[in-house]
Structure 1
Amino acid sequence: MSYTNSELFVSPFCRRTAARTPNSFTMERLLRKCIIRNQLVRECLAECLGLYILIGSGAAAQVITSNGNHGNYLTIQLGSALGALFGILVAHGVSGAHLNVVWSMSLSILGRHPWRKVPLYALSHLLGAFLGAATVYLQYYDAIQVFSGGQLLVAGPNATAAIFCSYPAEHLSFWGGLVDQVVATALLLICCLAVVDRRQGRLPNGLAPVLVGALILAIGLSMGSNCGFPLNPARDLGPRLFTFIAGWGEEVFTAGGGWWWIPTVAPFVGGLLGTVIYELLIEVHHLTTPHEEQSPGPELEEVVVDSGNNR
């Protein structure tokens, strides 16, 4: 058999299937042996990896440790939004990419997700956030040490704890922080429910993650100055636990008058409020046709997420 010059050039690629040797599938066979058969385990692993991906602390670390020479508030929010987008893309085909136990809770309240999975998803999110924070710390270890003078501080001009989790601004009161997180998380849930509400019109494939990323960006740009809009209990608690272990000490839990529990608890209140508001004001009023009344409509996709970034 003969080939033209152009065919000779592309043939190693175009004819790769025919040219495979008996050992060509070694890696494929090895990977197939690693397949996990249990669906719930696969979902938890996907949730863990998805939240690991969405951690936006890398952007915050770059800005803080460079004294603003390599980015600013906008780049932190962009990093957070893009992290959420790609975190969803990583996990949505396996678990639906909840990436936020508040979203899982909302779907369970609406009867669209089994309650038994909620605590397992929550633990997966916590682990993913913890590992994400650890990765950022390893990547920016030298920068953090130089910027902080070797002291891992929670407060002060050389503080670095805010790279990983949220702390209240000086002007923010206890009640102000509580209201901030309840309102912001309620808005997050209202908009996420709208994104997956098929009665609002089906979205093109792949658009939902982009819309959620844009939503995270909008919340960060408009509601981020009070406390960094954590919106996600695991997104804040996981990195906070890491900083406690890594050397910042117990001050990560005592700073801001014991601030840590607000981004851990308030999002649940906001999520419940947002779910009720959307159901009462929007979804319950969707018009139904006789056919839709006789047969159940399509279930909502569990494609959404997420969480914001901190500082």
Structure 2
Amino acid sequence: MARPKEAPGLIGELAAEFAGTLILILFGTAVVAQVVAGGIGDHDSIAWAWGLGVTLGIYVAGRASGAHLNPAVTVALAVFKGFEWRKVLPYALAQTAGAFLAAMLVRWNYDEVLSKVDPGHTIATQGVFSTLPGNGTLPVHEWGAFRDQVIGTAILLFLVLAVTDMNNTSPAANLAPFVIGLIVVAIGMAWGTNAGYAINPARDFGPRLASFLTGYETAWRDQYGNLYFWVPILGPLIGAVLGAGLYQALIARFLPSVEEPEPGTVPTEREAVK
């Protein structure tokens, strides 16, 4: 009889976070490149591809690391769910590295069409990789986008905790990633106007860095010339803690207790039916 494998350890967890975020960003940035540069698809295809990217990334990383795929999720779990603080920075770095590599692959693969549509690699196609206030065209400035990112990420974490809380009516383990993907689709369809629903510092900073290193000189600024890269970093971090805190205050503390898995992990099928 085969011996059960031991827990993956920190290196295994970081590899899973890297790979899961890589998958997420491969789908997310590529669909925007296809719409913006190739003229194929629309806003709905962007929302669905981002949501499916989240689902697939969670299926990749869920068992090994909990599939945070987002530094804001990691911080919120450390604040409220007992996730180890010593792992927060390594998780965030692994997530950002996965996002960076994915964006580099998309930049390489879509180089011909991006260069055709936007030869100067300007802010016109910068949105393929990173977010802008008002999606680069609408009259929203950095503080309006910051407000939007706080709210959007608070919604994300409130719902993610609801879906993964074994004390609540969470879905079976194999459906949780799909439901979380639907949450991201819904946020994209309802909260995508003011700031492009980054709701994830790694999702924005990794691709933003990749675009800067491959010719997008305006990568750190918005269409008004203001430094903008900090908005989809700080806004989601604050919003995640607020959303998770609201869930704990309004829902979690009133629920009857059942045995829970390790903090920040996707529940197994056995745990889901307890």
TM-score (norm 1): 0.78
DSSP-derived class of the 1:299 partner: coil
DSSP-derived class of the 2:65 partner: coil
Distance (whole Å) between structure 2 residues aligned to residue 190 and residue 214 of structure 1: 14
Shift in CA distance, 105/141, structure 1 to aligned 2, threshold 3 Å? same
Structure 2 counterpart of 1:146, from 116, 129, 135: 116
Which residue of structure 1 lines up, in the alignment, with residue 34 of structure 2? 62
Which residue of structure 1 lines up, in the alignment, with residue 133 of structure 2? 168
Distance (whole Å) between structure 2 residues aligned to residue 107 and residue 279 of structure 1: 11
Deviation at 1:303? 4.2
Deviations 1:122-149 (A, max 9, x none): 000110010010010111111111111x
Structure 2 counterpart of 1:134, from 88, 104, 111: 104
Asked whether the equivalents of residues 30 and 106 of structure 2 are also in contact (C-alpha less than 8 Å), the reply is yes
Identify the range of structure 1 (48-57 vs 173-182) with the bigger mean alpha-carbon deviation.
173-182
Deviation at 1:160? 1.2
What's the C-alpha RMSD, in Å, of the aligned pairs?
A: 1.9
The within-5 A match list for 1:62-211 is 62-66=34-38, 68=39, 70-148=40-118, 150-154=119-123, 159-169=124-134, 170-211=138-179
Which residue of structure 1 lines up, in the alignment, with residue 272 of structure 2? none
Q: Does 1:224 align with 2:196?
A: no
Deviation at 1:261? 0.7
Deviation at 1:214? 0.2
Which residue of structure 2 lines up, in the alignment, with residue 242 of structure 1? 210
DSSP-derived class of the 1:253 partner: coil
Overall identity of the aligned pairs, in %: 35
Deviation at 1:201? 2.8
Deviation at 1:208? 0.5
Which residue of structure 1 lines up, in the alignment, with residue 234 of structure 2? 265
Shift in CA distance, 160/283, structure 1 to aligned 2, threshold 3 Å? same
Which residue of structure 1 lines up, in the alignment, with residue 219 of structure 2? 252
Q: Does 1:214 align with 2:176?
A: no
Distance (whole Å) between structure 2 residues aligned to residue 153 and residue 246 of structure 1: 11
DSSP-derived class of the 1:228 partner: coil
Identify the range of structure 1 (230-239 vs 165-174) with the bigger mean alpha-carbon deviation.
165-174
Deviations 1:263-310 (A, max 9, x none): 01111110111111111111111245xxx6xxxx32366346xxxxxx
Distance (whole Å) between structure 2 residues aligned to residue 235 and residue 64 of structure 1: 18
Which residue of structure 2 lines up, in the alignment, with residue 286 of structure 1? 255
Shift in CA distance, 284/37, structure 1 to aligned 2, threshold 3 Å? closer
Q: Does 1:275 align with 2:244?
A: yes
Letter in 1 for 2:36: I
Q: Which has the larger radius of gyration?
A: 1
How many residue pairs end up in the alignment?
255
Deviation at 1:173? 2.6
